[in-house]
């Protein structure tokens, strides 16, 4: 590996539950990777420490020193300042309500330049360059997981707006509708996010609606309704699970259609935990729901499921050095 | 004027009720203009004939031959193919359900190169270069009139998608909501477009809801509820008119917020017949409604009303030669 070492890059995908890292060469090939849990206590320093340790592990597998990397990209939740590497208000991470200089801290511990980008945006760019979006010049990435995040590539380039573009999950699908985890009403995420789906399932279960969702959750020793639990329930024809997935698909189709009416992109790429698990299975109802609201319904964009899987975020982060 | 003649451009804004033309120099200054009714019978050839005649009138005022113009831009409704100048399905124009080579026809009669663009997109670009959007690099144009059209400028350049971007009026604001003139349900235009507002007023009036809207319409010898009629009714505290405008503002605020959450632009520019008349008057409720749905509500975009008025479309069309 050593002859290519000067063009190797690191990528770290910082998620609420796991930290995924990769060492990637200039062709997109992954030479080393690691995956571990995100600290659930402490503060940003502890999270940064776990990130550095995880990247060192991947670098060891790739037989490269972290200081020899061209750079290390990070895909982070929260409000990311790409210019300074400061991350603010990453609320699903421990003690991270304020601002923390994530880029500078990691540069200090890893000895390489660090760039920080939005987690979902870099995953969208990874799919654009190396995954499901390779054949297109413009795309909307929709990451359907605990929340619903998004990223944009327009005319081959990331579109970040003033730094916060891509909030596809907070496109309103029903004015005055369901309460969203973001505190507002009627967002796509209020119907389609796994967090909102679980809250609705708990409400209906408490109201006496029959479901095996929580029985399955306990049986598989989970403390929340993971995408795997949803899948098992649906495989067993659990009516509540089916209803809530159908409701999620309606909201996704509606909100994605609004985004398409505004941007007219070549493609929509579906990722995220639920997107990877259910994207192909529900492709037909999803595109049907979209079609109901597409202004040019005879010319819909391509809709594809991500192909880089769990590694997309880390690979996309490494591509912050290829922009 | 003759020394600047080589850099003069023509612009034609083709509307459903009027044809507005302008002769514009390279600084954006208007040296001649004309305005006349759009033919209501015949076919595309008749419309093209009226357009050529109107442009000749403006050229006469500017003391330039049409064949001496650098080019003539057209802002057209319908499905515009910018590459070929063919316009398809301009349904509010007489006999224009099919395709018509508008660009080639006008080149034949006027002796200059003709480029055809989307009417609302070119009006957005005019505001970007010369009007309310001059100080911004990215903006969403929202043209609130009979329908609700839109245009996008991102990083200083028009964003057309695959040719049909900017349909901000068909962002869904309420899944399963009101029927839109486009045939779908719950679009912003279904609540905010003047056409939809008039249809709703007629329905409620037929159901016995009291209103002076139609009395005012007859008094001022109109056959539809123009923006002027709406304004008079509101000045007289007509409850139905107030209710329907409030409903329109809610829909506009919601849909614009969805667009902002997706694109995070620096500014939103409000134009169109109702936008020009009511934009400043309802700026506070509009931005308040937007704020309810903005994901980053502490960092809203600037919201401005167009400054080029009725000439924006024709000036923007001339700018098709400055892109």
CATH of residue B43's domain is 3.30.420.40
Q: How far apart, in whole angstroms, are the C-alpha atoms of residue B179 and residue B214?
A: 22
pTM, full prediction:
0.94
User: In terms of domains, do B218 and B85 share one?
Assistant: no
Q: How far apart, in whole angstroms, are the C-alpha atoms of residue B131 and residue B86?
A: 28
Q: How far apart, in whole angstroms, are the C-alpha atoms of residue B298 and residue B6?
A: 48
User: In terms of domains, do A67 and A81 share one?
Assistant: yes
Which residues in chain A land under pLDDT 50? 1-5
Residue B127 included in any domain: no
User: In terms of domains, do B88 and B185 share one?
Assistant: no
Q: What is the pLDDT of residue B224?
A: 92
B161 or A309, which is more confident?
B161
Q: What is the pLDDT of residue B2?
A: 45
Q: Is the dihedral of CA B283, B284, B289, B292 positive or negative?
A: positive
Q: How confident is the model at residue B4 (pLDDT cuts 50, 70, 90)?
A: very low
Q: What is the pLDDT of residue A323?
A: 79
User: In terms of domains, do B157 and B104 share one?
Assistant: no
Residue B38 included in any domain: yes
Q: How many structural domains is chain A composed of?
A: 2
Q: What whole-number percentage of chain B has pLDDT above 70?
A: 98
Q: Structure tokens of B46?
A: 């008749």
Complex confidence, ipTM:
0.94
Beta carbons of A258 and B171 less than 8 Å apart: yes
Q: What is the pLDDT of residues B215-272, one digit of tens each?
A: 999 999 999 999 999 999 999 999 999 999 999 999 999 999 999 999 999 999 999 9
Residue of B155, B163, B175 to mutate when probing chain A, most A C-beta within 10 A: B175
pLDDT at B3 over 80: no
Mean pLDDT of B89-106: 94
Q: How far apart, in whole angstroms, are the C-alpha atoms of residue A294 and residue A261?
A: 6
Q: What is the pLDDT of residue B6?
A: 57
Q: What are phi and psi of B50, to 5 degrees?
A: -65, -35
Instruction: Judge contact between A301 and A317, C-beta under 8 A.
Output: no
Q: How far apart, in whole angstroms, are the C-alpha atoms of residue A222 and residue A269?
A: 29
Residue B12 included in any domain: yes
Beta carbons of B292 and A184 less than 8 Å apart: yes
Q: State the first-to-last Cα distance of chain A, in angstroms, to the nearest integer.
A: 24
Distance from CA of B294 to the nearest CA of A (A): 8
User: In terms of domains, do A94 and A160 share one?
Assistant: no
Mean pLDDT of B199-204: 98
Q: What is the pLDDT of residue B5?
A: 44
Distance from CA of A111 to the nearest CA of B (A): 34
Q: How far apart, in whole angstroms, are the C-alpha atoms of residue A72 and residue A63?
A: 16
Q: How far apart, in whole angstroms, are the C-alpha atoms of residue A8 and residue A318?
A: 9
Q: How far apart, in whole angstroms, are the C-alpha atoms of residue A33 and residue A24?
A: 9
User: In terms of domains, do A150 and A274 share one?
Assistant: yes
Q: How far apart, in whole angstroms, are the C-alpha atoms of residue B203 and residue B224?
A: 14
Residue B21 included in any domain: yes
User: In terms of domains, do A39 and A145 share one?
Assistant: no
Q: How confident is the model at residue B1 (pLDDT cuts 50, 70, 90)?
A: very low
What residues in B contact A177, CB-CB < 8 Å? 175
Q: How far apart, in whole angstroms, are the C-alpha atoms of residue A254 and residue A288?
A: 10
Residue A129 included in any domain: no
User: In terms of domains, do A241 and A303 share one?
Assistant: yes
Nearest CB partner across the interface for A293, out of B166, B172, B250: B172
User: In terms of domains, do B17 and B114 share one?
Assistant: yes
Residue B189 included in any domain: yes
| CA angle centred on A302, ends A296 and A307, rounded to 5° | 160
Beta carbons of A175 and B254 less than 8 Å apart: yes
Nearest CB partner across the interface for B161, out of A170, A258, A265: A265
User: In terms of domains, do A278 and A152 share one?
Assistant: yes
User: In terms of domains, do B183 and B112 share one?
Assistant: no
Question: Which position has the token pair 């699903």?
Answer: A92
Domain encompassing residue A73: 2-124+311-321
Q: What are phi and psi of A274, to 5 degrees?
A: -75, -35
Q: What is the pLDDT of residue A21?
A: 98
User: In terms of domains, do B293 and B166 share one?
Assistant: yes
Residue B81 included in any domain: yes
What residues in B contact A171, CB-CB < 8 Å? 171, 258, 261-262
Helix or strand holding residue B15 (H, E): none
Residue A197 included in any domain: yes
């Amino acid at each position: 590996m050593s002859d290519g070492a000067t063009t190797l890059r690191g990528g770290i995908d910082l998620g609420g539950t796991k930290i995924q890292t990769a060492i990637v060469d200039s062709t997109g090939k992954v030479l080393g990777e690691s995956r571990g849990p995100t600290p659930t206590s402490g503060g940003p320093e502890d999270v940064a420490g776990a990130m550095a340790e995880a990247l060192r592990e991947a670098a060891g597998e790739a037989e490269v020193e972290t200081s020899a990397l061209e750079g290390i990209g990070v895909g982070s939740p929260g409000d990311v300042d790409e210019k300074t590497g400061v991350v603010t208000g990453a609320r699903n991470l421990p003690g991270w309500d304020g601002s923390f200089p994530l880029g500078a801290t990691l540069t200090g511990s890893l000895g390489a330049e660090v760039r920080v980008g939005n987690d979902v945006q870099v995953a969208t760019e990874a799919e654009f360059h190396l995954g499901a979006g390779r054949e297109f010049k413009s795309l909307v990435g929709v990451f359907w997981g605990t929340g619903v995040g998004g990223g944009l590539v327009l005319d081959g380039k990331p579109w970040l707006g003033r730094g916060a573009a891509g909030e596809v999950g907070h496109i309103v699908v029903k004015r005055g509708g369901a309460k969203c985890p973001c505190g507002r009403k009627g967002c796509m995420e209020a119907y389609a996010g796994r967090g909102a789906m679980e809250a609705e399932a708990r409400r209906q279960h408490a109201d006496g609606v029959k479901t095996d969702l929580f029985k399955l959750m306990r049986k598989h020793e989970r403390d929340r309704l993971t995408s795997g639990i949803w899948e098992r329930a649906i495989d067993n024809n659990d009516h509540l699970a089916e209803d809530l997935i159908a409701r999620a698909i309606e909201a996704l189709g509606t909100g994605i259609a609004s985004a398409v009416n505004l941007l007219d992109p070549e493609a929509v790429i579906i990722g995220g935990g639920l997107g990877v698990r259910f994207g192909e299975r529900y492709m037909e109802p999803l595109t049907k729901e979209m079609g109901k609201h597409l202004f040019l319904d005879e010319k819909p964009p391509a809709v594809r499921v991500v192909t880089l899987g769990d590694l997309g975020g880390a690979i996309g982060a490494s591509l912050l050095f290829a922009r």
